[in-house]
Copies of this chain bind each other. A is one copy, B any other.
Amino acid sequence: MNSLTDVLDGRWGDIRRDIRAQVADAKFREPIGLGVEEHRAQVLEQLQELAKTGRPRLGFPEEYGGSGDIGGSVVSFEMLGLGDLSLMVKAGVQWGLFGGAVELLGTREHHERLLRPIMDLDLPGCFAMTESGHGSDVQHLRTTATYDPDAREFVVETPDAGARKDYIGNAARDGRMAVVFAQLVTKGESRGVHAFLVPIRDEDGNPMPGVRIEDCGPKAGLNGVDNGRLWFDRVRIPRTSLLNRYGDVAEDGTYSSPIESDGRRFFTMLGTLVRGRISVAGSAGSATKRALTIAVRYGEKRRQFRRPGETDEVVVLDYLAHQRKLLPALATTYALHFAQEELVASLHELQSGGEPDEIRQRELESRAAGLKAVSTWHATSTIQAAREACGGAGYLAENILPALKADTDVFTTFEGDNTVLLQLVAKGLLTSYKDQFQDLSPLATARFVAEQFVGAVIERTAARKVVERIIDASPGRDDDDVLFDRAWQLKLFEDREAHVLDGVARRLRQATEENAFEVFNAAQDHVLRAGRVHVDRMVLEAFVAAVDRCEDGETKDLLSRVCDLYVLANIEADRAWFLEHGRLTSPRGKAVVAAVNDLCRELRPHARTLVDAFAIPEQFLSAPIISE
């Protein structure tokens, strides 16, 4: 069913098709049974091959040899997620994080000197932000870069054990330079976290003087990526090593910045790096699609237990319990795909044209945070279900699922811990984008909410117009078929979000200077829920808009049923809330459960079509359980 693939491929369909064709030629080897060092070597080799294609250039500016296609760049990371995820992550470190930091936090001199060697992989680099003691609260990193006006140099220092840089990709083996995030100190004053270029290895691969490097060793997954730890013992770097787009130090040590507040400046700097988070969400989606494709194909092939009166055994995907494991997850994967596509489009629009509008930038960051959290948790649970649905065969490395599971596991806590990210989403909704927006301290949150909560913010997403049209056109109804009424579904999600947000705001308004932490902490589960239901609404709207723009009638009908399954499975999982808040009656609650079962049965014959539409190149599906 070509047309379903077309709908999924969307705006960057050309890039997706090109990559599929390229990949079909390339030698791709599953890293099954490789030791850590062999795996790292294989991934570096693949990274070098990748550097020869144009893809790493996609996201960089045309004046330095790039293609300036930001959306295309993110989509190409997403497509890399169909293969060995170590390669995706290593490419993300090199071109997304390291290259992205140089591009977005540096200025012309840095661009001219570094972007080409970065794109060509002549300068392998690291993104050294996280420290052992600070992962989520990166505003309080402890590494320092103190300006010495006499030498016109910064002195980079790891002041204590907790300040070592930790889990840094590309550090243990291959990186030669690192973008190091450190507290900038000049004239005895700290100016907050800034990014500095620090050479960590010489041409021969030996650590630079004063730099200590340690290997993080084997990990649960992603063992093709060489994560390491870095310590700096009074390492001197030239003044111009400061990536100085958002803050600079003159030769005499005078600090200047276009943004006055240290906090706001730092979060503006962080915000420019939002692509990384979006790419993680996208590749989590790719891994999920691959796992579902394997599990569905196996589920159509595997037979167990005879049906009375028949000699053939029953295909396991014909069992309701098996459908329940896979089909709602498949529907959610479709939903997240369309939400991702819309997010990438927003990113593209925003970053393609000059200095972005600040409010839209923060909306984008909030949506990226939320979708990353929801997509990566969805990946973890779906890949787990896919593994279980393949039984013992799913546990064998040769059948790919073990690597998918182990590799994506860390997605839920890297590039932002999901729990922290959902809080950030909720906070964004509550504080209507004031200055301290991203300062996550409970006091700041509670205070802002107390002062100026203005109700749920509906962002200007592309989907909103479609949603409003559908809601306006709905006659309103109240029979049991209402469950399948798109306007009813949309209003239910909208209403849930508004109600939850309103409740959180009411609780947080009780905060005073003295009890702010306690009030915030007591409501933390409620705050997280607000973030979650907001993302759910956003995801549904993107799915609805995708169904709406689908032109082929048959495809549209199928997609519409998949959308129903996404909605109703979501309501089913959360129906305690709907019941408690009078949004569903008991009989209708039960009707939701029955409707999910009905939809599973109805979509069962289309399961193969739905996974085939992901058009995953066959070489990424070389699992003996589905090919033998």
Which residues of A are interface residues toward B (Cβ below 8 A)? 32-33, 35-36, 130, 132-137, 140, 161, 166-167, 216-221, 303-308, 313-314, 318-321, 324, 380, 384, 387-388, 391-398, 401-402, 405-406, 409-410, 412-414, 417-419, 440-443, 513, 516-517, 521-522, 524-525, 528, 575-576, 579-582, 586, 589-590, 593, 597, 601, 628
6 A-B pairs with CB atoms under 8 Å apart are A33-B218, A137-B313, A167-B396, A307-B517, A320-B522, A405-B409
Query: Smallest CB-CB separation from A133: which chain B residue?
Result: B303
A392 touches B166 (CB 8 A): yes
B321 touches A524 (CB 8 A): yes
Contact partner, A167, options B392, B409, B579, B580, Cβ 8 Å:
B392
Q: In the assembled complex, which residues on chain B have CB atoms less than 8 Å from the CB atom of A414?
A: 392
A525 touches B320 (CB 8 A): yes
B580 touches A586 (CB 8 A): yes
A519 smallest CB distance to B (angstroms): 11
A27 smallest CB distance to B (angstroms): 21
Question: Measured between alpha carbons, how far is A303 from B522 in the docked complex, in Å?
Answer: 18
Q: In the assembled complex, which residues on chain B have CB atoms less than 8 Å from the CB atom of A628?
A: 161
Question: Measured between alpha carbons, how far is A11 from B447 in the docked complex, in Å?
Answer: 55
A138 smallest CB distance to B (angstroms): 10
Q: In the assembled complex, which residues on chain B have CB atoms less than 8 Å from the CB atom of A516?
A: 308
A311 smallest CB distance to B (angstroms): 11
Query: Smallest CB-CB separation from A310: which chain B residue?
Result: B517
Q: In the assembled complex, which residues on chain B have CB atoms less than 8 Å from the CB atom of A321?
A: 419, 524-525, 528
B391 touches A380 (CB 8 A): no
Question: Measured between alpha carbons, how far is A137 from B304 in the docked complex, in Å?
Answer: 6
**Among A314, A395, A402, A528, which residue has the most Cβ atoms of chain B within 10 A?**
A395
Question: Measured between alpha carbons, how far is A396 from B320 in the docked complex, in Å?
Answer: 38
B397 touches A306 (CB 8 A): no
Contact partner, A304, options B135, B410, B579, Cβ 8 Å:
B135
A305 smallest CB distance to B (angstroms): 5
Known: A392-B166, A397-B218. Contact between A597 and B305, CB under 8 A? no
Closest 9 CB pairs of A and B: A220-B402, A308-B443, A218-B397, A576-B576, A320-B524, A579-B579, A167-B392, A33-B218, A575-B576
Known: A217-B398, A521-B318. Contact between A586 and B581, CB under 8 A? yes
A16 smallest CB distance to B (angstroms): 30
A601 smallest CB distance to B (angstroms): 8
Contact partner, A521, options B319, B417, B441, Cβ 8 Å:
B319
Question: Measured between alpha carbons, how far is A417 from B314 in the docked complex, in Å?
Answer: 16
Q: In the assembled complex, which residues on chain B have CB atoms less than 8 Å from the CB atom of A395?
A: 167, 219-221, 409-410, 413
Query: Smallest CB-CB separation from A444: which chain B residue?
Result: B308
A441 touches B308 (CB 8 A): yes
Contact partner, A305, options B36, B136, B313, B580, Cβ 8 Å:
B136
Known: A396-B219, A581-B586, A582-B586. Contact between A440 and B305, CB under 8 A? yes
A525 touches B579 (CB 8 A): no
Contact partner, A136, options B35, B304, B417, B576, Cβ 8 Å:
B304
Contact partner, A522, options B32, B307, B396, B597, Cβ 8 Å:
B597
